[in-house]
Amino acid sequence: MSDEIEAILDGITTAGRKQISEIRNTAKKQKSDIYARAESEANAQKARILSDGQTRLNRTRAVIEQQQVMKSLQLHADARQRLISKVLEQTQEKLSGVRSQASYKNILHTLISNAINALKLSLLHDQKIVLRFDKQDKTLVESIASSDLFSDVTIRFNIICRGGCIAESEDGLVQTYNTFDSRFQRALPLIQQNLSKYFEEIISSY
């Protein structure tokens, strides 16, 4: 009887050891699987973090580069505008000096002629012309007033300009501006456009 009990106990012990071994193996495998999944998730998370960081870095770099481009363009635009303003300022200074030149008499005569001819196209029959000048041109205008150009023309010295004249109908409804100032203002958009293009080519070459 004792032998049978011992056999039963041995069987139980062996079965227990087998179950314990199986439990240990299963636990070990589950532990490995858990570690593997944890490592995989950790690597995936790390990759996402690195990817997000790189994306933010790329975005930041792009913003900085764009800011630098805009700053460079603004610097070029400012430099171009300063050059244009300087040239226009010098041009107006030169226009102011034309009056003191010997050639101004012929220039003024041409400006008067052009103004009168342009105005005549809009005058009514027998309508007279009024010519307006800067008082600085009074002596010069009076010296050429005897020409046929001034027949039936009223002369007044009541404007301020760098040179030239304004021609108008006697009722003041039709006017032709032919002063240095007005001609300069009419040409200004084209001058600025050409200067801008010219200075842009110069600045871009550096």
What string of pLDDT tens digits covers the 206 residues of the chain?
Answer: 445 545 554 555 565 455 556 655 665 676 677 667 767 777 877 777 777 777 877 788 777 877 777 777 777 677 777 878 888 888 888 888 999 999 999 999 999 999 999 998 888 888 889 999 999 999 999 988 777 777 789 999 999 999 999 999 999 899 999 999 999 999 999 988 888 888 777 766 66
Question: Quick check: helix, strand or coil at residue 100?
Answer: coil
Structure tokens at 141: 């205008």
CB burial of residue 189 (10 Å; 0-12, 13-18, 19+) = exposed
CB burial of residue 30 (10 Å; 0-12, 13-18, 19+) = exposed
User: What is the structure's pLDDT at 1?
Assistant: 47
Round to the nearest angstrom and report the end-to-end CA distance of the chain.
Answer: 112
User: What is the structure's pLDDT at 2?
Assistant: 44
Identity of residue 27: A
pTM of the model: 0.60
Structure tokens at 149: 């150009």
Q: Distance between CA 19 and CA 12 in Å, rounded?
A: 10
> Per-residue DSSP letters for 110-139?
HHHHHHHHHHHTTPPTT--EEEEEEGGGHH
User: What is the structure's pLDDT at 146?
Assistant: 73
